[in-house]
Structure 1
Amino acid sequence: MGKVLSFGELLLRISPDGQGQWLQENKLAFYVGGAELNVATALALWGVPSAYLTALPENFLSEELLSYLNAKGIDTKPVVMQGDRVGIYYLPKGKDVKNAGVIYDRAGSAFADLKVGNIDWEAVFAGVSWFHFSAICPAINQNVADVCAEALAMAKAKGIQISLDLNYRAKLWKYGKEPVDIMPALAASCDLIMGNVWAANKMLGMPLQEELVQDIAKDKLVQHAQLTSKAIINQFPKCHTVANTFRFDHGQGIRYFTTLYTRNQLHISQEYVSEQILDKVGSGDCFMAGLIYGFQHQHSPEKTLEFATAAAFNKLFSLSDATTSTVADIEETMKTYAN
């Protein structure tokens, strides 16, 4: 099994409480995160050789962060050391990173300053069989979007499997380009694309049929997932697998299920419902990691989907950006919630 290389910006998440206690106590909860790092962390925890490529400044903080990641079994040798700062985002406890509550403080970060030619992709891809990135990277600026294109060209030439998470962050697309101007060209190099029907519409221009999504009925959403998955594969022939996640608020909790379309067949996961959760951040990243885990172990599409879905559901009960659930924990969840 070759290494899985995840590429993206390391971020520190700072989570003040909503009642102002952080001001009274001079104390802030924080977590080490970033969508792609969450994937790398999960894979390392599950025993998959995992490497991570980001950019960090040469300082004490970066040294501590790299030691932290190395202790988790993540290969950080590809990390580029440059620039002056680490990106930060602020998110009140209990909020979802996709919601308006997020405040980004990442302009001028080491990663945002990456340019074509900064990374020796020949060296970085040595021993790598899978390359993962998300749509958050090209959302930062045109230079980083160009670096993504540079990486994909090399990975494709080397026959490396490529996965893309269609993460949409409205607050990041601020450099004069819409996602649909950038993402289709990048998606054309990908073997596995994950997101949902709304993200596929916003980022890849896939048709959105309002009559199938307006009342979030499962049978209609599944029907739309199949239509969207086929449309993606038709437009991007290199893509052989499309995954969709469906996560909806359910009181104080969550209603969650997923689909996986591959080999002309749509697979539907069991549905998970919980009346209470702890942290929404990183659930989709955990699902992506679960897919990679399954495909790296050559599991069946059904087994891969159920593992990834259970992993994502488990993440909702962990106060961190990345999962802390082991393979055994996830398999136990699959048994507990089995229909």
Structure 2
Amino acid sequence: MKRVVTLGEILLRLSPPDRNRIIGSQSFDVNYGGSEGNVAVALSHFGIDTALITKLPDNPIADAAIQQLRGFGVNTDLIIRGGERMGLYYLENGYSVRSSRVVYDRKHSSISEAEISEFNFDQIFENVDLFHVSGITLGISEEAYLLARSFMQEANRRGIKVSFDFNYRSKLWTTDEAKAKFSKVLPYVNIAFAGVLDFTTFLGIDPEETSNLVTKMDHKKLYKKVNEHYQFDYIVSSYRTVVSASHNEYQGLVFNGEEAFQSKKYQLDIIDRVGAGDAFTAGFLYSYLCDKEEQYQVQFAAAAGALKHTIFGDALLSSKEEVENLFQSNTYHVQR
């Protein structure tokens, strides 16, 4: 069985029930999430051996988060305990013309102040096939950036594939700050998950070159331009057209250095959009690790991302059979 290690922050998520506003809410639904943890959970449901590396305080809230991860099949044995607090965020789910809204409360969380010396690379990377991290972790703090960079360097040194999702968050840092940090770690990346804004903001692509991306050939030219500067093994992108906060069009593309591959397009009525990109990432990584052909990879990734829109919470809780059924059979009847 293939083995994947992810590094990132686990947060407590609080959401008003029934798409209500934060203002006026008397109760909140509780979930646990975080980009890299979401990827690990989805991969575990697909049958991949996964482990999450993070640091959490020694308190009952963190215990509950770890228990949930274990319940979803994620190995938590190497999570470090200590520090003052666990990060949290408030999610106000949008609907129709009202956008979703996120409020972070994650400063001084345990992982944001973790030190490299607390982690044993020999234990962490033993028999590992792929390491995954996102730009969110790099943006939490200077300490988290240095930690993530060290993990990426070490994985690269050991010949382990490195997967990186840009995942830029404007509430964490500026584009200039992110660009400076990203430029230091991209040489270690084999698989890059990036969208149009990442290409133009962080990878030096002229916005004019992304103004008319219609066909698969248009995207192929763009990806080739990116690979003139960074020789990624794969560039993987999801694209959405926002019709409203509760209805999107969704599609995936995969570029293998030579050719671009495009998924079918989904029309989505949204229950919970958070974590869809992580589900898409997990879908690609699963099919990549299983040596599937590129057309299967992009179809599986897009179907995984599409399904996540229909599931409440941060993580995709679907089997590989459910994902395959979506893009192979194209049926929505009750499965009996």
The two structures have a TM-score, normalised by structure 2, of: 0.91
Check whether the contact 1:40–1:50 (CA below 8 A) recurs between aligned residues.
yes
Q: 1:235-290, CA deviations, whole angstroms, 9 ceiling, x for partnerless residues?
A: 122x211011101212441111111100401111111113x211111111001001
* Consecutive unaligned residues in structure 1, runs of 5 or more: none
- Tell me the residue number matched to 2:206: 207
Point out the more displaced range, 143-152 or 104-113: 143-152
Q: Tell me if 1:261 matches 2:255.
A: yes
Q: 1:227 deviation in Å? A: 3.3
* Consecutive unaligned residues in structure 2, runs of 5 or more: 332-336
Q: 2 CA distance for matches of 1:228 and 1:75?
A: 38
- Tell me the residue number matched to 1:317: 310
- Output the amino acid matched with 2:253: T
Q: 2 CA distance for matches of 1:218 and 1:232?
A: 18
Q: 1:79 deviation in Å? A: 0.9
- Output the amino acid matched with 1:266: A
- Tell me the residue number matched to 1:226: 220
Q: 1:22-55, CA deviations, whole angstroms, 9 ceiling, x for partnerless residues?
A: 856x321121110110000001111100111111
- Output the amino acid matched with 1:301: E
Q: 2 CA distance for matches of 1:159 and 1:180?
A: 25
Q: 2 CA distance for matches of 1:157 and 1:308?
A: 28
What SS does the aligned partner of 1:153 have?
helix
Q: Tell me if 1:332 matches 2:331.
A: no
RMSD between superposed Cα atoms in Å: 2.2
Check whether the contact 1:166–1:203 (CA below 8 A) recurs between aligned residues.
no
Q: 1:114 deviation in Å? A: 1.6
- Tell me the residue number matched to 2:334: none
The 1:144/1:211 distance shift into structure 2, 3 A limit, reads: closer
Q: Tell me if 1:246 matches 2:242.
A: no
Q: 1 CA distance for matches of 2:306 and 2:117?
A: 39
Following superposition of structure 1 onto structure 2, how do residues 10-49 of structure 1 map, counting pairs within 5 Å?
10-17=10-17, 19=20, 23=24, 26-49=26-49
Following superposition of structure 1 onto structure 2, how do residues 268-279 of structure 1 map, counting pairs within 5 Å?
268-274=262-268, 276-279=269-272
Q: 2 CA distance for matches of 1:147 and 1:34?
A: 17
- Output the amino acid matched with 1:35: S
- Output the amino acid matched with 1:162: V
Q: 2 CA distance for matches of 1:210 and 1:278?
A: 34
- Tell me the residue number matched to 1:285: 278
Q: 1:9 deviation in Å? A: 0.4
Q: 2 CA distance for matches of 1:12 and 1:272?
A: 30
- Output the amino acid matched with 2:214: K
What is the number of equivalent residue pairs in this alignment? 327
- Output the amino acid matched with 1:272: Y
Q: 2 CA distance for matches of 1:138 and 1:244?
A: 20
- Output the amino acid matched with 2:196: V
What SS does the aligned partner of 1:172 have?
coil
The 1:268/1:20 distance shift into structure 2, 3 A limit, reads: closer
Q: 1:121-169, CA deviations, whole angstroms, 9 ceiling, x for partnerless residues?
A: 2221112110000010111122211111111111011110110011010
Q: 1:19 deviation in Å? A: 4.2
Q: 1:55-77, CA deviations, whole angstroms, 9 ceiling, x for partnerless residues?
A: 10112222222122112111011
- Tell me the residue number matched to 1:182: 181
- Tell me the residue number matched to 2:148: 148
Identity percentage of aligned residues: 26
Q: Tell me if 1:306 matches 2:299.
A: yes
- Tell me the residue number matched to 2:62: 62
Q: 1:100 deviation in Å? A: 7.6
- Output the amino acid matched with 2:66: L
